[in-house]
Structure 1
């Protein structure tokens, strides 16, 4: 495992880390504490020292499971969580400093800890970035010793750029993958200038970039890949990176030709993300321990060739850019 600096936090974090949206079971299935423990321990055994969770993942059960495992380990593990998505309807009007402070207090209780390493606003509405009192609330929490750092998780590149106007924002979490190239155009260089850590989520485009899906693949009714393809529940960019499923499958077939050999496309897709030196860490999820091992293999793969990097961009330009690039 290789390690990179997470911006202003100063944390040295594993370049391949763990996201826990589906930890404990597949999307839409009941949470399994035992399976969650196995996944998290597998990741730490492999050198992962950064774990990303959220208060809305399994209604706090994910936070509790992560904290329980981390407390039982001797390694220094950084835990990031998120707040804000409990606000329903999820509108800017629902955001208040008092409410967000309450969510942080709830997360502290879920994790049975006094301090959170990194708390992130969880994809707040765009209007929130024009409300300094929201960001100032986290300065008070830091003064009280309840958080060490503030970050934001965003949907839009424009939101990432707006977030960096606040000096206390130490990290930005954003979708970046072979089907979502826009962040690398402007945001990455600005983040580097501002010493803001970049956490990459959805590196496999909800599984499309594993190369294992087909038109015959089915998803359960409670899986967001069934019910959120058009943004019915939340931003559609979170599901298949906003790519129409059939079009994504066509693009994946072309990507496979760029990466022949024994390693799965998933590992190369994660390695592609790590080719950007500005990226601090990538947080693929896992619903089984063996998926953790597969994801982490990417850290040991050789660098992509110039021909492969150019090939990815050409496939993006042909299949993905027209429908996706301008939206996020």
Structure 2
């Protein structure tokens, strides 16, 4: 495994993390504790030390599975979670960034994760008017001072949200989480330059374009109704799958696993600190970790 410094946080994190949205049940299946233990256990064996979860991956369901899986080894992990949403049922959430409610969300996350601190607590895809509430950030910074949060971050909803990105330092946020992959390079225009200027750590989510860049899916593939990908516009999915086919032919070296190539493609950007792909089982953790073999040396954040 390779490690980088996560911006101004000073945290040393693995360049490949474990994304855990799938644990919440919106990717076509549910997970038992044993399965979560296997995934996270294999990640640890491979040198991965970053887990990204959220309050609304299920009603703290993902956090609960993660918390149990790392019980007794909390100090071995960098745990990132988020705030701002209440989960009601699959694909149905309401948002709440009221400072008092966010404190309640934080306490719920701490209980679910079975910990007394969160390494990275992220504003979760919220609108600009919620972001602009000074009392929200004052409240969060008090929680940092109290030791319940080590670092604050922003998970921007639109990967072109330069408004929130450019104000990260003003609210004491030290990281940006953003959708970035070979099919969607929008952050390169404004978001990444701002991150570099502020020395923000960058967590690239959806680095495999929701699995499309794994190379497993052909144009015309459909997804089950309990899979979040089924909610996408069919024509757009078709176009993206055609683009993936072209990338495989023209850019991926022959004999190279496409998923590993796609993760390394993200990691070779000098602004990206790490990728946080999801993984349905331990075998996919191994596949994701293999991307480090394709990552170039000399990244500005290398440890």
TM-score (norm 2): 0.89
Matched, 1:176 2:168: no
Secondary structure, in 3 states, of the residue corresponding to 2:85? coil
Higher helix share: 1
Shift of 1:40: 0.7
Shift of 1:51: 0.6
Choose from 118, 126, 138 the match for 1:116: 118
Shift of 1:205: 0.7
Equivalent residue, structure 2, for 1:28: 28
Contact 1:129 1:162 in 2 (8 A): no
Q: 1:5 to 1:302 in 2, by over 3 A?
A: closer
Q: 2: CA distance between counterparts of 1:204 and 1:302?
A: 16
Equivalent residue, structure 2, for 1:251: 243
Q: 2: CA distance between counterparts of 1:277 and 1:37?
A: 33
Q: 1: CA distance between counterparts of 2:216 and 2:122?
A: 32
Contact 1:173 1:201 in 2 (8 A): yes
Deviations 1:219-256 (A, max 9, x none): 111111112x15xxxxxxxxx9xx81111111111111
Secondary structure, in 3 states, of the residue corresponding to 1:200? strand
Counting only pairs closer than 5 Å after superposition, residues 147-158 of structure 1 correspond to structure 2 as 147-156=149-158, 157-158=160-161
Greater Cα shift, 292-301 or 164-173: 164-173
Q: 1: CA distance between counterparts of 2:124 and 2:165?
A: 16
Please give the root-mean-square deviation of Cα atoms over the aligned residues, in Å. 2.2
Secondary structure, in 3 states, of the residue corresponding to 1:244? helix
Task: Give unpaired runs (5+ residues) of structure 2.
Answer: 298-303
Equivalent residue, structure 1, for 2:301: none
Equivalent residue, structure 2, for 1:270: 263
Q: 1:277 to 1:294 in 2, by over 3 A?
A: same
Q: 1:36 to 1:149 in 2, by over 3 A?
A: same
Shift of 1:167: 4.1
Contact 1:23 1:285 in 2 (8 A): no
Shift of 1:105: 0.6
Shift of 1:67: 2.0
Higher strand share: 2
Equivalent residue, structure 2, for 1:289: 282
Q: 1: CA distance between counterparts of 2:98 and 2:26?
A: 33
* Aligned structure 1 segments of 4 or more residues deviating by more than 4 angstroms: none
Secondary structure, in 3 states, of the residue corresponding to 1:266? helix
Q: 2: CA distance between counterparts of 1:152 and 1:178?
A: 22
Q: 1:12 to 1:163 in 2, by over 3 A?
A: same
Aligned residues: 290
Secondary structure, in 3 states, of the residue corresponding to 2:204? strand
